[in-house]
Amino acid sequence: MQRALTLFHKILIGVALIVMLFHLTVYVAYAANLIPFPFDYDQGEGFELYDTQLLSQFQSPYRDLEPYPYYASNYPPVFHLIAVPFAWLFGPQYWYGRLLGVIGTLITAYAIGYAVWKDGQHRKGRGRPIIAILAGLAFLASNITYRQGPLLRQQMSMVMFETLGVVILTQAEHLAFVSARKTRLFLLGFGMLILAGYTKQLAAYSAIGVLIWLFLRNPRRAIAWGAIFAAVGVGIFALLYIITGGQWWKQAIAANANTIFWPQVEGLFRLWYGLHGFLIVPAALLCLYELYFERLSLYVIWFAVTLTLGGVSSGTWGGGDSYFATSVAGLTLLSGIFFSRWLAGDFKFPPNYLSRGLRLFKPFAPLVTASALLVVPLLYIGYGRAVLKMPTTGAVFGQLADWWDIQPNALNGFYDSAGRIAGGYSDIGHFVTEQDYVNAERIADYIRTSDKPVLSEEAGFSFRAGRDVISNPTQLLNIWLRGQYDGTTLINQIDRQEFGYIILRAQFYPTPVLLAISRAYDTVDVIPMNGFEYIIKAPKIGQWSDRKYYLQ
């Protein structure tokens, strides 16, 4: 019986591995498709590239938005600084930023696998490599990781630094005695958290989780390490504030304080659970186990804090499903540890009022442990189905979609199990097509052929045409919503028709700017790209008489 069960376990684990490797293949195919695309895929990528360009020329991306070119960044600089050597070597290119994102996810997956394996080693002297591998692959298989990974965005680099920080701090805590090595590991772990925080502001939630854990373990140590951590963090903050003449605070901090749209939070929590439920339940069980029968690990507190705060923040303007990325790292890590311990029968129930109640089930303990042999791989297989996303066209994926009867439900013939229902779940993840390249070049041609500057809502077309990047619409909107953007200079320039063309996509500019555009410019072309419609606007003829009418 035991031999049959073990054999069945091995077969199911093999199937689970195949499922996860299929997801990895889709991820690699998506990354390979997207990395060479020389335009914005997710709106805002071009501005991250522009930040890198500015930093590579030793210029600050935190600038006053009022004068030309109306540009400022709202993200901290670490991700862009990492890309600076590439900018020196290759100029403004999208591929290296996207490659950095993918590498970040691979390192995170490795860190998750390492943490799962190390937990088994620490407790039983033997880790479970196969569960560690499945846990790492499960992180990569998540729709959220998949979609964000190959973007030229700083989100997944932040998750990488956060995960590395938390894993390193946990390993440091496992060291029995206070030693130089332990101190070095703590410094390294906190260093990673600082890097995470200066990659993206959202990493503050991880820092909160770490400090809560440290405080519960020992308040004195928490205060000491917290003081060092805060001194370094505040020191860098103050330096940036001084260097940028206060623009760092205005653009990167004040501009990002947005209100929460609660229906979006609820929708994204439902989606998050629908996609990851097969692993959320085991992760939650480990949280409960540690709460009532063991000491709370950093992983549990990190997961709880980043899930709660990140989930709530996902409802802000500019937020979205990506705000759950850290909690996905946490849940794949915790579920991996839960499975590893379950397979090893490594759950102890010290005497308390709850374990007395559980005593009734003690005769079933061997059965429960043996059931892990079947349930654990089945949960990974179920998770693999829940997060299914793939193209439904092409030689291989088209054939698979036919076999599995999968119909596209997203852009460019893509299938995504998440659907496109929840607000804040953006239209990305699909592959770009040859037609997208052609159409993107058509849009860039408008800039090339204009002898005037062109106001574009995405920077990619300006980079491609070798022209100035003018304006960061989302940042203009952020600052305008705070009541700190006047916009007279830009609006006057629009009214005077000083731009050869205006290229719009989501129309994120502040309302007065959009009104000025509709006053002075007419739509002359609409070009689809990546499933979105790009509106090309040219100056209205007879504009000055119209304008006189408006000024009356």
Partner 1 sequence: MIRRFFSLEFTFSKRLLGIILVVGGVLGCFALLGFDLIRHSDQGIGPAQRTAMIALGIAAVIGLTLIPLGKAEV
Per CB under 8 A, residues contacting partner 1 are 215-221, 223, 260, 262, 291-292, 295-296, 308, 312, 350, 352-353
Nearer to partner 1, 82 or 304 (CB): 304
Distance CA(525)–CA(523), nearest Å, equals 6
Q: Contact at 8 Å (CB) between 263 and 423?
A: yes
Question: Closest approach of Cβ 358 to partner 1, in Å?
Answer: 14
Question: Closest approach of Cβ 220 to partner 1, in Å?
Answer: 5
Distance CA(251)–CA(62), nearest Å, equals 6
Amino acid at 541: I
Nearer to partner 1, 356 or 452 (CB): 356
Question: Closest approach of Cβ 225 to partner 1, in Å?
Answer: 13
Q: For residue 523, list its beta bridge partners.
A: 537
Nearer to partner 1, 27 or 302 (CB): 302
Strands 414-416 and 389-391: antiparallel
Distance CA(250)–CA(63), nearest Å, equals 9
Question: Closest approach of Cβ 424 to partner 1, in Å?
Answer: 16
Q: For residue 526, list its beta bridge partners.
A: 535
Nearest alpha-carbon partner for 52 in 4, 14, 99? 99
- Rounded to an integer, what is the distance from CA 453 to the centroid of its chain? 33
Question: Closest approach of Cβ 319 to partner 1, in Å?
Answer: 15
Question: Closest approach of Cβ 429 to partner 1, in Å?
Answer: 29
Question: Closest approach of Cβ 216 to partner 1, in Å?
Answer: 5
Nearer to partner 1, 296 or 538 (CB): 296
Nearer to partner 1, 125 or 351 (CB): 351
Distance CA(461)–CA(474), nearest Å, equals 17
Question: Closest approach of Cβ 262 to partner 1, in Å?
Answer: 4
Nearer to partner 1, 21 or 296 (CB): 296
Tokens of 34: 């997207």
Nearer to partner 1, 223 or 374 (CB): 223
**Host H or E run for residue 415:** strand 414-416
Nearer to partner 1, 125 or 350 (CB): 350
**Host H or E run for residue 73:** none
Distance CA(527)–CA(123), nearest Å, equals 59
Tokens of 194: 């600082």
Query: How far lies 83's CA from each of 63, 97, 256, in Å?
Result: 20, 6, 23
Nearer to partner 1, 217 or 452 (CB): 217
Distance CA(63)–CA(69), nearest Å, equals 10
Question: Closest approach of Cβ 269 to partner 1, in Å?
Answer: 11
Q: Contact at 8 Å (CB) between 86 and 490?
A: no
Nearer to partner 1, 76 or 311 (CB): 311
End-to-end distance of the chain based on CA atoms, in angstroms?
91
Tokens of 160: 């990488």
CB atoms under 10 Å from CB of 403, counted, come to: 8
Nearer to partner 1, 216 or 257 (CB): 216
Question: Closest approach of Cβ 1 to partner 1, in Å?
Answer: 38
Nearer to partner 1, 85 or 219 (CB): 219
Question: Closest approach of Cβ 207 to partner 1, in Å?
Answer: 19
Exposure letters 57-78 (e unless 16+ CB within 10 A, then b): eeebbbbebeeebbbbbbbbbb
Burial category of 346 from C-beta neighbours within 10 Å (exposed 0-12, middle 13-18, buried 19 and up): middle
463-468: Cβ within 8 A, 24+ apart: 463/38, 463/46, 463/49, 463/50, 463/92, 464/38, 464/39, 464/440, 468/69
Three-state secondary structure along 420-452?
CCCCCCCCCCCCCCHHHHHHHHHHHHHHHHCCC
Nearer to partner 1, 316 or 322 (CB): 316
Distance CA(490)–CA(66), nearest Å, equals 7
Question: Closest approach of Cβ 110 to partner 1, in Å?
Answer: 30
Question: Closest approach of Cβ 194 to partner 1, in Å?
Answer: 25
Nearer to partner 1, 349 or 485 (CB): 349
CB atoms under 10 Å from CB of 504, counted, come to: 22
Give every CB contact of residue 217 below 8 A, 6+ residues apart in sequence.
Answer: 173
Give every CB contact of residue 265 below 8 A, 6+ residues apart in sequence.
Answer: 311, 312, 314, 315
Question: Closest approach of Cβ 331 to partner 1, in Å?
Answer: 19
